[in-house]
Structure 1
Amino acid sequence: MMEMHSILKRMLVTEKSTIEKDEKNKYYFEVDSRANKIEIRKAAEKLLKVVVDDVHVINIKGKKKRMGRTMGKRKDWKKAVITLSPGNSIDIYGV
């Protein structure tokens, strides 16, 4: 079992996530790559004090980038889409 504070790394605030937050009560987070759906749900409920309806997890592959004449690669990471039950919300600017 992972430590709760290390599971949710940061909230992703983009144009798409803001629209989803307003219309469907969905919030996007960057999470630890070793965390599973159950751990993400428990961490969100305990740390953010909300009721979670659903969790979707997406593994994002790092892009290949050129640095001078050598090719490099950004790190792989995991994204979680957390759907909250009606009546719950997260203050995105206070997190």
Structure 2
Amino acid sequence: MNGIKNAVFTDKSIRLLGKNQYTFNVESGSTRTEIKQWVELFFGVKVIAMNSHRLPIKVKGRRVRSIKGHKKHYKRMIITLQPGYSIPPLRKKRKELELKNTK
């Protein structure tokens, strides 16, 4: 898949898995419709909503609004699936992380 770079596993993204929402880093040039089609074809699920945002750039430990010529080459997408659908490998990863955090 050319558009999706990787799945994201942060504290927030793990909480969102309980709401049937999955977080991915995608290429910045990808459109929402392309990402939706890729997710539906690759995982065999139905997408009902998508939210995206660009991560802020950090310079020497502080955030900067804009630096000319410096921007991330990806954006983050939060994808909500219809009830009854899930992405099994990511669900398994969530359980492993929860078990690790409880120890």
Q: TM-score range by the shorter chain?
A: 0.7 to 0.9
Structure holding more strand per residue: 1
Quick one: which of 34, 41, 44 aligns to 2:36?
A: 41
* Residues 55-74 of structure 1 mapped to structure 2, 5 A cutoff: 55-65=50-60
**For 2:9, what is the secondary structure of its paired residue?**
coil
* Residues 1-95 of structure 1 mapped to structure 2, 5 A cutoff: 5-22=1-18, 24-65=19-60, 75-76=71-72, 77-90=74-87, 91-92=89-90, 93=92
Distance 1:17 1:83 in 2: 12
Distance 1:13 1:32 in 2: 17
Q: List structure 1 runs of 4+ shifted beyond 3 angstroms.
A: none
What is the TM-score when the length of structure 1 is the normalising length? Answer: 0.77
Q: Structure 1: where are the runs of 5+ without partners?
A: 67-73
The alignment of Structure 1 onto Structure 2 pairs a total of residues equal to 82
Q: Structure 2: where are the runs of 5+ without partners?
A: 62-69, 94-103
Say what the alpha-carbon RMSD is for the aligned residues: 1.8
**For 1:63, what is the secondary structure of its paired residue?**
strand
Distance 2:26 2:32 in 1: 10
The percentage of counterpart residues that share the same residue type is 32
What is the TM-score when the length of structure 2 is the normalising length? Answer: 0.72
